[in-house]
Structure 1
Amino acid sequence: MERQWTVEESVVIDAAPERVYEAVADPRRMGEWSPEVFAVWVRGRRVVPGLSFVGFNRIGARVWFTTCRVTEAVPGRAFAFRVTTFGVPVAVWGYRVETTDDGSIRLTEHWEDLRQAGRGAAFASLLGRVFTGVPADGRAEVNRQGMRTTLTRIKTALEAS
């Protein structure tokens, strides 16, 4: 199987774009949505590019943390952050909020693996497998499944309120 370097999944949500953005752009809420993230520690209050946070993650009995920095925060439209482990680039995660032709909102979660080449790529891939139990060539599928769960949880919560 050829390794995938990017994944994205989308869901249509019946909610205002501002509400959808608020749900995904607050790192403190990631534990509500993600099947891997169980806690987040944020440095600062305002969600703007440059804000850093630490995500605490779990798969089964394996627990690890990642350091993240917000790279994009456009209210009602886009939120993204870069993930590093021990200073080595690992991934970019983000969300796009788009209005469809019928007026509903499409929320897309996207991920890009930064461990393709360069300084520390092999080390970051090894760390990923040790901490998560997921080999680098299986990470895309694990993330795809997690995205589906995350997006379903967001949709359910926003449409219920």
Structure 2
Amino acid sequence: MLPPGDVIIVAPTDPDQVRVGGDVIVFQHPGQDDRMVITHRVTGIDADTGLYSTKGDANSAPDRFSVSKGDIIGRPIFLIPFIGFASEMKKQVILLMVILPSLMLALLETRKLTHGPPMPPAGSPGRVRCRKGKSSRSGTPGSSFSPRSFWPSSFY
């Protein structure tokens, strides 16, 4: 039985080599589109028609349809657990990786427009005192800020 989210690697097989009992085959659902692929155990082969009867391990009854040789894709040879959930989660990934960061950026930009840029804490290097005793972030006209008074002389 394959748990949900597991992915199988399928190897092509000769339909004449498939045996009743233990063989598991991967086939296209008869009468459905090509994307409907099923993995079930072979429970019987009709000698007259050459059609295969199948049953899923988790199912209590055999499948209502028969599988022709042309519908058989192959046999599962390798199982990769949980990797199938990645394709199921692509909507969540888009939400987490694109939409949420975009919303956060929009909110931050809206906050900047409505409240102005944030002021650095008092006493931090980005905050200087103006002549009038008011705080300023940069050397606006009327302030006493100059790069030479801010940086140590060893930088010049």
- Normalising by the smaller structure, the TM-score range is under 0.3
> Which one has the largest radius of gyration?
2
TM-score by length of 1: 0.23
Give the helix-richer structure, 1 or 2. Answer: 1
Give the strand-richer structure, 1 or 2. Answer: 1
TM-score by length of 2: 0.24
